[in-house]
Amino acid sequence: MLKQSLQQKLLQKLSPQQIQLMKMIQLPTLAFEQRIKQELEENPALESEYQESEEENYNDTSPEDYDNEENEIINTEDINIDEYLSDDEIPDYKLHANNYAADDEEKHIPHVAGTSFSQYLKTQLHSYRFNEKEEQIVDFLIGSLDDAGYLRRDLLDIVDDLAFTLNIYSDEEEVERLLKIIQNLEPYGIGARDLQECLIIQLYHKNQSKSRDLAIKILENSFDHFAKKHYNKLMIKHNMDEDDLRDVISDISKLNPKPGSSYVGTTKMVEQIIPDFTVRIVENELELFLNARNAPELHISSEYSNMLRSYKESTEKSKSQKEAVLFIKQKLDSAKWFIDAIKQRQQTLMITMDAIVQHQKEYFLTGDERNLKPMILKDIADKIEMDVSTVSRVANSKYVATPYGTKLIKDYFSESMKNAEGEDVSTLEIKKILETVIENENKRKPLTDDKLAKILKEKGFPIARRTVAKYRELLDIPVARLRKEI
């Protein structure tokens, strides 16, 4: 049986404006600039300080209420242009033009438009003579190389693709023969199917010597032993001493495991990190600055204010004029909200970052990562009385320029653990100590995780071996066996 009933519920929902504000807070500087550019393009009521605009001062530019021809009342009282315009004859944004620091100036970095990687390889093939079929296969092989210069696909799969996509019938032997030609191109190592083949190709293009020939022999016959640093087995198997092995290791270490990246990397657009904050030390005190590019000067378009004034002063108000006023009202409301959202974003960023700087004051004054205190998102959220999600949005994608380099803000957050004295210490401090211990170890006899755990315990950090292994992996440090050197 169906019934109808009324229920009252108390729900907490974010308005569309709040959702947009949260998204704006999360944006780093470059993405924020793109967001402003998009809004300027979509909303003609907004203008920036970089656009040519002359504002006029009106004491009251809000149009009065009016009735349309169908007696429908359209309320326009809440349109207040004074909120968007300066009270001075010269707008504020024009006075700010010369007040920026040199570091805050907008700079455009030119990018070199070079030859692509595939074009570079094809240029070298001009000295070879191919028939039409071979030329198509070679082009297909070059197009199949990844950014590192490797051919990651089986030759049989390439033969099938040639048949189905280009209607070219070939076999593995022909493809292999043409691949060998590509492997003779520069940078050497191009077209290899794995690391072993890549290194061997590069060695064959080096000047002949005892260590080079021995290195080729080791890579061809004992690659696994070499990769796992089983040096004793290598010396026994190939009848050589430590000096010979040291020369071999030196030759191989000079090779490029990713030959394609040495060329591809030069033609890619470099992603530039723009710090959102700057922390400076002035007379042993910390000063925090927000990047000026996060605080653009936006104002109302003078054309819109002129349209409203013309409407107010006109004696006859047509229907089209009334529709235009409604359109203007929508754009002005959107412009006002956007300007307010930018101000809220600036305030939220500064409050959050200031709390982080004060919490990690000892670190920012010294630059010593061992002075980093344990800090989680909730610690900062409680200080600034905001939600944890807001702090997370600020920390995850923002950078701060310090006297010690540009850092990602979220890297300053870490869990805590108790030391031998019962004090809370940051896991970042423990990782730094672990990294220092490994750097200073005897590379002929690297320390195992068990020995590292004992050393940390002696330093006052009682942590388990598995925790040491976890921190070591987070630091991208290999196991003891792979850190061994001759």
Residue 448 belongs to domain with CATH number? 1.10.10.60
Of 207, 228, 258, the domain-final residue: 258
Has residue 303 been placed in a domain?
yes
The reported pLDDT for the residue numbered 201 is 93
Has residue 315 been placed in a domain?
yes
The reported pLDDT for the residue numbered 216 is 92
Has residue 227 been placed in a domain?
yes
The reported pLDDT for the residue numbered 103 is 47
Q: Are the beta carbons of 293 and 104 closer than 8 angstroms?
A: yes
The reported pLDDT for the residue numbered 313 is 66
The token duo for 248 is 């071999």
> What length is written for the chain?
486
Has residue 145 been placed in a domain?
yes
Has residue 106 been placed in a domain?
no
Q: How many domains does one find in the chain? A: 4
The Cα–Cα gap between 311 and 390 comes to: 43
**Residue 135 DSSP SS3:** helix
pTM summary value:
0.54
Residue 205 and residue 247 share a domain: yes
User: What's the burial of 267, exposed, middle or buried (CB within 10 Å: 0-12/13-18/19+)?
Assistant: middle
The reported pLDDT for the residue numbered 420 is 67
User: In whole angstroms, what separates CA 398 from the centre of its chain?
Assistant: 10
Of 232, 258, 284, the domain-final residue: 258
Residue 133 and residue 201 share a domain: no
Which domain, by its residues, includes 432? Answer: 416-483
Calculate helix-pair angle for 377-384, 388-396, nearest 10 degrees.
120
The reported pLDDT for the residue numbered 317 is 62
Residue 357 and residue 338 share a domain: yes
Which residues are CB-neighbours of 15 under 8 A, at least 6 positions away?
Answer: none
Residue 169 and residue 204 share a domain: no
Of 365, 386, 407, the domain-final residue: 365
Has residue 9 been placed in a domain?
no
The token duo for 481 is 């066996």
The Cα–Cα gap between 142 and 263 comes to: 14
From the list 276, 244, 146, the residue with the least C-alpha distance to 198 is 146
Residue 84 and residue 25 share a domain: yes
β 277-282/399-402 pair status:
parallel
CATH of the domain at 185: 1.10.10.1330
> pLDDT truncated to tens, each residue of the chain (486 aa)?
677 777 776 655 556 667 777 778 888 888 888 888 888 888 887 777 655 433 433 333 333 332 333 333 334 444 444 444 444 444 444 444 444 444 444 444 444 455 678 888 888 888 888 899 999 999 999 989 988 889 998 999 999 988 888 888 989 999 999 999 999 998 899 999 999 999 999 999 988 888 899 999 999 999 998 888 888 888 889 888 888 888 888 899 889 998 887 665 444 444 567 888 999 998 889 999 888 777 777 776 777 767 766 666 666 666 776 777 777 777 777 878 888 888 888 888 999 999 999 999 988 998 887 788 888 888 899 999 988 888 888 888 889 999 988 888 888 887 777 666 666 677 777 888 888 888 888 888 888 888 888 888 888 888 888 888 888 888 888 888 878 877
Has residue 392 been placed in a domain?
no
